[in-house]
């Protein structure tokens, strides 16, 4: 007789979360239950079982883990999701469950990079002021660019997939509507064409990024938003590593 499959809760909504759910389909020992935050109106559904919406803080999550008979949790939320990882750590500690953090490694500055690492956008504005930046390239989420409107001495070139509605009011800004990825050559051409003196972006991590390579080549400073702090947990950088961890967990 085969043993019943145990359930792993995957806190997803990211590329890694979808890929893990896909990889766990038909797994002989683990059933995957994906959880989405429920912010998107018609989200793409992960492979296998899924549920949607907040749990009600760490206590709500602990109760969910208990009532659903969850045997392990994998936190595959976005690197800039601030709360869920901490909630998962607290709930798993309370329930005595193994927890893994799955995320792509952050980008690291090399010796030729001129990075200014910041922990919020106010610090990023302060760095641009200090550098007396006349023209900055913002490669951020469209909801985040409003933080830069107080800097009236800088001309912003802002790249986004869509315009925010309503668009924030800048003293001087132009929008480029485009969806990546962009090659180093394309990014170099853009930075040169617009006379960019500083690039502002988030440390999303993953494969080497075209704009970072272009900024390095042109000697342009990068104002880099660091990832928020995460609890100390086991970590995996790839879906394959997460599967190996699951094998050991049960």
Task: Pick between residue 50 and residue 133 the one whose CB is nearest to ligand NAP.
Answer: 50
Q: How many residues does the chain have?
A: 250
Residues 220-246: b if buried by 16+ CB within 10 A, e if exposed: bbbbbbbbeebeebeebeebeebeebb
When the beta carbons of 82 and 129 are compared against ligand NAP, the nearer one is 82
Phi, psi for residue 102 in degrees, rounded to 5:
-110, 115
* Pick 56 or 105: Cβ nearer ligand NAP: 56
Kindly report the backbone phi and psi dihedral angles of residue 194, in degrees, each rounded to the nearest multiple of 5, phi listed first. -95, 5
Report the C-alpha gap between 247 and 92 in whole angstroms: 18
Stretch that binds ligand NAP, among 10-18, 110-118, 168-176, 238-246 (CB under 6 A): 10-18
Residue 46 as a binder of ligand NAP (CB under 6 A): the answer is: no
C-alpha–C-alpha distance, residues 110 and 108, integer Å: 6
Decide whether 214 or 223 has the Cβ nearer to ligand NAP. Answer: 223
Tell the smallest beta-carbon distance from residue 142 to ligand NAP (Å): 12
Task: Give the footprint of ligand NAP on residues 21-40 (CB under 6 A).
Answer: 35-37, 39
Q: What residues line the site for ligand NAP (CB under 6 A)? A: 11-14, 35-37, 39, 54-57, 60-61, 77-78, 80-84, 87
């Amino acid at each position: 007789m085969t043993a019943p499959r145990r359930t792993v809760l995957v806190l997803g909504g990211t590329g890694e979360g979808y890929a893990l759910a896909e990889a766990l389909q038909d797994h002989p020992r683990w059933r995957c239950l994906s959880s989405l935050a429920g912010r998107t109106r018609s989200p793409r559904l992960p492979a296998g079982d899924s549920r949607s919406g907040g749990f009600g803080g760490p206590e709500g999550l602990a109760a969910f883990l208990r009532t659903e008979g969850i045997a392990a949790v994998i936190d595959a939320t976005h690197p800039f999701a601030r709360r869920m990882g901490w909630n998962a750590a607290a709930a798993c500690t309370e329930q005595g469950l193994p927890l893994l953090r799955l995320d792509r490694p952050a980008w690291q500055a090399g010796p030729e990079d001129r990075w200014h690492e910041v922990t919020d956008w106010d610090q990023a504005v302060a760095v641009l002021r200090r550098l007396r930046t006349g023209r900055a390239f913002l490669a951020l989420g469209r909801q985040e660019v409003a933080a830069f409107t107080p800097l009236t001495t800088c001309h912003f070139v802002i790249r986004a997939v869509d315009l925010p509605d309503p668009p924030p009011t800048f003293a001087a800004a132009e929008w480029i509507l485009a969806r990546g990825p962009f090659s180093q050559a394309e990014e170099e051409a853009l930075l040169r064409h617009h006379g960019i003196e500083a690039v502002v972006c988030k440390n999303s991590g993953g494969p080497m990024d075209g704009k970072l390579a272009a900024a390095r080549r042109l000697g342009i400073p990068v104002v880099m938003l660091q990832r928020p702090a995460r609890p100390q947990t086991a970590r995996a950088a790839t879906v394959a590593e997460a599967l190996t961890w699951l094998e050991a967990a049960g």
